[in-house]
Amino acid sequence: MLFEAEATPNSAALIADAALVVTLAYLRIASDGGRPMLAKVGKVQFSEGKKAQASFSGGVLRIIVSPSQGLAGRPSSERVEKVLRTGK
């Protein structure tokens, strides 16, 4: 799996935190028998936007962080887990 980030000085710390959040979601899914689902993820992309978001499509997990929102400007591990499990 490839991790890819478009970080600026404003978003670098938040993207690093979001990477940890993704890791927590992965651990929960893997420990619950979801390894086959996780095998479908080929890339995790982190970028900056106006609103924190998580989406999954075509093997790419996209994480959008919003530095203007502080720590609330990244999706929660629960949100990332839901997106990976349901695609929504």
User: According to the model, what pLDDT value does residue 88 have?
Assistant: 74
User: According to the model, what pLDDT value does residue 21 have?
Assistant: 96
User: Residue 1: pLDDT above 80?
Assistant: no
Q: What is the pLDDT of residues 32-85, one digit of tens each?
A: 999 998 999 999 999 999 999 999 999 999 999 999 999 899 999 999 999 999
**How large is the average pLDDT for residues 17-22?**
96
User: Rounded to whole angstroms, what are the CA distances from 69 to 31, 48, 74?
Assistant: 31, 11, 8
Full-model pTM: 0.92
Question: What angle (nearest 5°) sits at the alpha carbon of residue 36, between those of residues 27 and 17?
Answer: 30
User: According to the model, what pLDDT value does residue 27 have?
Assistant: 96
